[in-house]
Amino acid sequence: MATHYCAQDDVSNFLQIGALGSGTTPTDTVVDAFINMAEEYIDDYTNHSWHSSRYKTATKEPLNFQKHRITTVGWRGRSQIKEYPMASLTNLYVWDGSQYVDYVSSGSYTAGSFTDPLSGNYWVDETNGYIYLKTYPSINATSAPSGVGGYATYTYGDASTPATVKKACILLASADVVANQDFGLTVGEGPAGMSNETKAERFRSEAHTILDSPRLVGRHVVLARNAGSVQWSSQTQ
């Protein structure tokens, strides 16, 4: 399986154990597997993804549309999604007074662009995590059986891996390598005389210090946010 947050050479260079291959201990395939496990752990820990090949999906997330701006034909609607930046919008179900209509797949609705939003029935600010409706009748918010004006299914995450995530991935994969006694490695990284088990714990601790930074944790909305004329808040699970 391909690796995305770091490469096996990053791990071998960090541990100072030389190039990896099919005949080395550990093999290049084994280290790639450790990297994949580290990537999955980082995604779960941060509730985010850090490469375009690892985008995560939010499925039928409830939307709390605000009456954002009055026009001659009614209100515009706006909702903040929980996870952003958004990579793509798969479905946008909006209550029309009698049923939920998917604005994305329905031929009756079109998407505007960020620079020309009113050219369609809805538009998306992917970077800041907003979905806008060109027209949102008041009946939509009050007549939906679930009390939810809409639902969205979308993918989200950062397209490219930041250096901090790369370092955390190297540390976590390296910890798995040095902690495996079957490899019998003498690892140069770390103070002289320190056992491999202690080095592994040190690597994991350093990785979590990186992953706990405000830049990486909490990439979803957790506090009340002033979205304009109406105060909006949500809670994450």
pLDDT, tens digit, 9 for 90 and up, residues 187-201: 655 555 678 788 899
Average pLDDT, the chain: 85
Half-sphere exposure of 166 (CA within 13 A, CB side): 12
Clarify whether residues 38 and 93 are in a common domain: no
Clarify whether residues 47 and 164 are in a common domain: yes
Clarify whether residues 117 and 197 are in a common domain: no
Cα separations (Å) of 17 from 14, 24, 174, 177?
A: 8, 10, 11, 11
Clarify whether residues 84 and 135 are in a common domain: yes
Clarify whether residues 86 and 149 are in a common domain: yes
Clarify whether residues 24 and 36 are in a common domain: yes
- Range 16-29 average pLDDT: 88
171 within a domain of the structure (yes/no): yes
224 within a domain of the structure (yes/no): no
pTM of the entire structure?
0.79
User: What are the tens digits of pLDDT across the range 105-138?
Assistant: 999 999 999 899 999 999 999 999 999 999 887 6
User: What are the tens digits of pLDDT across the range 138-153?
Assistant: 666 668 888 899 999 9
Identify the domain containing residue 14 by its residue range. Answer: 8-53+160-211
